[in-house]
Amino acid sequence: MGIYERYEAERPKSRAAYERARRLLPDGVEHDMRVSRPFSIYVERAEGAYKWDVDGHRYVDFIVGHGALLLGQNHPAVIGPVREALELGTHFGASHEAIAEWADRVCRLIPSAEMVRFHSSGTEATMMAIRMCRALTGREQVLKFEAHFHGWHDYATVAVYEPFDTPTSAGVPGAVQDTVTAIPVNDAAQVRDTLAAREYACVILEPSGAGGGSAPTDVEWVRELRAICTEMDVPLIFDEVITGFRYSPGGYQQEFGITPDLTTLAKILAGGFPGGAVAGRREFVELIEMRDESGWNRGKRISHPGTFNANPLSATAGVACLDYIADGKAHAVANRMGDRLRAGMKKVIDVRGLKAEVFGSHSFVRLSFTGRRDRGAMGSLGAPLQTAMMLHGVHIGGGGGMTSAVMTEDDIDLTIDAFEQSLKLLGEEGLLVD
């Protein structure tokens, strides 16, 4: 049997779950990235570095909640406090003390954070950050960078996937798209020329590069970008939804000493629970405040309701997670496992003499079989490699994955062996060119 045929034969319960879901949900899934060939696994439980599907297969987990689980699945430091909070209530419809505790942790760790506003997701956070910049500056235009992902709201659909002149999503008004300009990264002169050509409300980017570093940026270019934005009085937003609390306790900006005006956060922020935030300079974030000296500030302030903003469970999980990772020890483990995995995969590639590479930094592991370092790096091999790796007990994304702080050297060595065996399967199917 081929890779896909074997996968199907060994996962009858996942297939049945998929067939049922397919009748009720678009593609049978709830997230674009969970569409996989021939069908997604359906997970029954998870613990530590592993998860088990409904057919009983165990996987070393490199998806880590799409980046949210630096501490792996069900970490006791997070789950213990959440269990206690669950007994008290899931939604008070009122403020609670954990909100300020959570904000305090963010402001301690994130260099740009003077004030915080919580949301339910990273998409909401980037949408709010852009709105804050527009409100403060009185300008409308946004400058972003090609292939950088900032959620699924209307302004974030421009130039995410090639061809960049085709929006990621249908249903977005042309007038909205026209307020967003996208240019390539790592070209400071083009940034300066673009900002000089018209008035911009902000510049937004994933500081490590598109896809959490799948298409890396040059650190010195990011540093120069900060200087250009300061010089030209254009607010700079770091989208650290992925890198926040993962590159270091204070994210990319702490790791490299480059401080934006606003930072968008999610994923690790809430310890694996739903949550997002905008953190940054007070003059931006306080635009949400409802009163000024004359009373109600209608028409001048930014409106921001949200049923699940900083709900008690997410806030509790967030406080517990950020307390646990504040000393950087979790990052040291995850980064060391990332180094070991990249080195091991590189050795496998070199022994086979493949025209491929493994790259990334910190806890990020990326693969390329095309000579490119971008979203197209895997070419046509992303889906079959992902499926082959699952046959060998490893769940990675189409182009790589992320390590967590609960992984061991044995987990990494198993993964390296799975990679070697998966490449062998791809070769047997004629999908690899040595």
CATH 3.40.640.10 fits 76-325, yes or no: yes
Q: Which is nearest to 415 in space by CA: 350, 357, 361, 347?
A: 347
What is the separation, in whole angstroms, between the first and last Cα of the chain? 22
- Residue 78 zone, left/alpha/beta (φ > 0; ψ -120 to 50; rest): alpha
Q: What is the residue extent of each domain of the chain?
A: 3-73+329-428, 76-325
Report CA-CA distances (Å) from 296 to 250, 289, 301, 388. Answer: 35, 9, 9, 59
Q: What is the three-class DSSP state of 370? A: coil
Please answer whether residues 59 and 390 qualify as being in contact, where contact means their C-beta atoms are separated by less than 8 angstroms: yes
- The CA distance from 408 to 48, in Å, is 10
- The CA distance from 243 to 205, in Å, is 12
- The CA distance from 272 to 68, in Å, is 5
- The CA distance from 79 to 130, in Å, is 33
- The CA distance from 307 to 368, in Å, is 41
To the nearest 10 degrees (0 to 180), the angle between helices 219-231 and 188-197 is: 20
Superfamily of domain 3-73+329-428: Aspartate Aminotransferase, domain 1 (3.90.1150.10)
Instruction: Looking at 41-187, list the stretches that DSSP marks H as alpha helix, in order from N- to C-terminal side.
Output: 76-88, 97-109, 122-137, 174-177
Instruction: Looking at 110-169, list the stretches that DSSP marks H as alpha helix, in order from N- to C-terminal side.
Output: 122-137
Tokens 């000089």 -> residue = 196
Q: Which is nearest to 265 in space by CA: 252, 281, 253, 278?
A: 278
- The CA distance from 188 to 69, in Å, is 34
Residue 352 C-alpha from the chain's centroid = 32
Cβ neighbors of 350 (< 8 A, separation 6 or more) are none
HSE-CB for 324 with a 13 A CA cutoff: 25
Q: Please tell me what DSSP assigns to residue 217.
A: P
**Kind plus residue range of the DSSP H or E element containing 146:** none
Position 130: which residue type? I
Q: What is the pLDDT along the chain (434 residues), one digit of tens a residue?
A: 899 999 999 999 999 999 999 999 998 888 888 888 899 999 999 999 999 999 999 999 999 999 999 999 999 999 999 999 999 999 999 999 999 999 999 999 999 999 999 999 999 999 999 999 999 999 999 999 999 999 999 999 999 988 898 888 999 999 999 999 999 999 999 999 999 999 999 999 999 999 888 899 999 999 999 999 999 999 999 999 999 999 999 999 999 999 999 999 999 999 999 999 999 999 999 999 876 666 666 677 898 999 999 999 999 999 999 999 999 999 999 999 999 999 999 999 999 999 999 999 999 999 999 999 988 899 999 999 999 999 999 999 989 999 999 999 999 999 999 999 999 999 999 998 76
Q: What is the three-class DSSP state of 160? A: coil
- The CA distance from 156 to 232, in Å, is 23
Q: Which is nearest to 252 in space by CA: 66, 109, 102, 104?
A: 109
